[in-house]
Amino acid sequence: MNLLTFDIEEWFLEKAYFGNKQSKYAEYDRLLEELLEHLSEHGHKGTFFCVGKLAEDFPQVVRKISNAGHEIGCHSNTHQWLNKMNYKQAMEDTHSAVDALQQCIGQKVKSYRAPAFSIGSDNKWAFEVLASNGITCDASVFPASRDFGGFPEFAKMEPTVVKYNGIEIHEFPIVTIKVIGKQIAYSGGGYFRFSPYFFIEKEMKKASYSMTYFHLGDLCPVIEGVMSKEDYERYFDETGTTKARYLRYFKTNLGVKGNKRKLFKLIERMGFCNIMEAELQTDWGEAPVISL
């Protein structure tokens, strides 16, 4: 079972942080169109986790994805990391986002992914926040250490029932593998951009479960130059040293060129399903249970 998921935030980021350029919106519109066509040609339905603000400011983008038959999931309201919010802020953020997305597409939103996989051992209460807002499936767990989050103690890399304070969520975690002593993901984001194609396909074919996560920003640059100190600090909420700003620029842009061809090849060659389909296919009675 290979899950196909996308995190959609680019239009919102452009408007809020990167200059509100019409040329960037047009570029994202074109890329999305091409991606949806390619998915339809190969009969795949994905889950697109969209930020709530996208439903408010760019509703046509969310509707276009939904009208093509894909599942719309929630990717927070303003792309702030959940581990930088307290319980009350996370409640408000999730409520606003789910509400805006549901109003936009006229359907229930049941799947969630936190920006930067920001659910970990310090904010397990986030699962309660999600369940209170009608979310039944989550894909926010990155069961290894990473920048901005990670949940190494989760230690499960298959569909898992999460129990916390009387609620239950069906978790679809990222899969990581050990390479030179370090746990890394291979099926999304920067890891997908940096890994050779044959390696990714080989790993996915070997696994009985895999979780992909892509962004339009993996296919074209989102940040076209090194961010100013001010913008960096507003966006990342940390000190924008020269080193940090250059590092972020390289991490965001390395491997973007040629990555579309790689992703489209994967779409052509592999079978995929989205979260709602995976939810139905999974025998939850047999799935591992984690009580947090």
Q: Which residues form the interface with Zn ion (CB under 5 A)?
A: 7, 9, 115
Q: How far is the CB of 145 from Zn ion (least distance, A)?
A: 19
Cα angle 31, 98, 82 (rounded to 5 degrees) comes to: 85
- Other CB atoms within 10 Å distance of the CB of residue 241: 11
The minimum distance between CB 19 and Zn ion, in angstroms, equals: 19
Q: How far is the CB of 189 from Zn ion (least distance, A)?
A: 9
Q: 260 CB contacts (<8 Å, ≥6 apart)?
A: 31, 219, 220
Residue 192, token pair as written in the block? 């997908």
Closer of 6 and 272 to Zn ion (Cβ): 6
- Write phi, then psi, for 251 (nearest 5 degrees): -60, -35
Question: Angle at Cα 107 formed by Cα 104 and Cα 111, nearest 5°?
Answer: 100
Nearer to Zn ion, 79 or 282 (CB): 79
Which CB, 27 or 282, lies closer to Zn ion? 27
Pairing label, strands 176-179, 182-185: antiparallel
In whole angstroms, the minimum distance from the beta carbon of 286 to Zn ion comes to 31
CA distance 18 to 223: 7
Closer residue to Zn ion in complex, CB, 9/14: 9
Contact 93, 123 (CB under 8 A): no
Specify the residue, 137 or 222, whose C-beta has the smaller distance to Zn ion.
222
User: What is the smallest separation between the CB atom of 109 and Zn ion, expressed in angstroms?
Assistant: 16
How many angstroms from the chain centroid is the CA of residue 137? 13
